[in-house]
């Protein structure tokens, strides 16, 4: 969704190579990895931050290959998952930052446009997540409600 609102071509993303074997440098078991993920989630880290920590600190190249589950699945099983998916939450935080900036700088027309583009992305993502069932079908996006949702 990054290049959706521009006239330029998008940058092609790389695909992760197919790996079916485990790396020899990772000596952590499934239970230890699950415990590390739960501890990091209790500290308030998001699933992407947990993935960075596992990669950089523990040498885990692919959590899913080792455990057979995604990080968010492990978090949900232990009751630590967020109600709002992480990508939607990040867009809402971005919209809140833009709104705060615009309340101080009323004449900033470029960021007014960016706010409308970000809110458009949020609405599209909400429609997708309602169809998939990750958020309730009666969930509505509004800036005030989003602020209360994110600050919790």
Question: What digits encode the pLDDT tens for the residues 68-105?
Answer: 899 999 999 999 888 889 999 999 999 999 999 999 99
**Same structural domain, 73 and 90:** no
70, 93: one domain: no
Q: Single out the residue in 77, 101, 136 at which a domain terminates.
A: 77
Q: Is residue 124 part of a domain?
A: yes
Q: Which two tokens stand for residue 118?
A: 């970000």
Domain containing residue 111: 86-151
- Is residue 18, in this structure, part of any structural domain at all? no
- Location of structure tokens 């600050």: 151
- DSSP assignment, residue 9? P
Question: Does 129 have pLDDT greater than 90?
Answer: yes
Q: How many domains does the chain have?
A: 2
Q: Which of 19-28, 48-57, 59-68, 138-147 has the lowest mean pLDDT?
A: 19-28
- pLDDT band at residue 151 under the 50/70/90 scheme: low
Domain end point (choices 20, 50, 77): 77
Phi/psi region, residue 68 (left: phi>0; alpha: psi -120 to 50; beta: rest), is left
Residues 56 and 106 reside in one and the same domain: no
In a domain, residue 61? The reply is yes
Give long-range contacts, CB 8 A cutoff, 24+ apart: 44-51.
Answer: 46/82, 46/86, 46/89, 47/71, 47/72, 47/75, 47/86, 48/86
Q: What is the CATH number of the domain that holds 147?
A: 1.10.287.10
Residue 40 shares a structural domain with residue 91: no
HSE-up (13 A, CA, CB side) for residue 16? 7
Q: What is the pLDDT of residues 9-50, one digit of tens each?
A: 777 777 877 777 766 777 788 899 999 999 999 998 999 999
Name the token pair of 53. Answer: 């920590």
Residue 18's pLDDT is what? 77
Asked if 30 and 69 touch (Cβ cutoff 8 Å), the reply is no
pLDDT of residue 1: 47
Instruction: Classify residue 7: in a domain, yes or no.
Output: no
């Amino acid at each position: 969704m990054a290049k959706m609102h521009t006239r330029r071509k998008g940058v092609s993303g790389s695909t992760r190579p197919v790996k079916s074997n485990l790396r020899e440098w990772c000596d952590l078991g499934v239970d230890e990895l699950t415990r590390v993920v739960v501890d990091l989630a209790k500290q308030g880290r998001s699933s992407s931050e947990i993935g960075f920590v596992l990669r950089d600190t523990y040498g885990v190249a692919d959590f899913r290959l080792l455990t057979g589950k995604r990080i968010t699945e492990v978090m949900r099983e232990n009751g630590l998952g967020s109600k709002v998916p992480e990508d939607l939450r990040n867009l809402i935080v971005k919209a809140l930052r833009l709104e705060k900036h615009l309340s101080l700088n009323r004449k900033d027309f470029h960021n007014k446009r960016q706010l409308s583009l970000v809110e458009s992305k949020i609405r599209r993502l909400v429609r997708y997540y309602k169809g998939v069932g990750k958020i309730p079908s009666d969930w509505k996006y509004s800036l005030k409600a989003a602020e209360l949702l994110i600050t919790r």
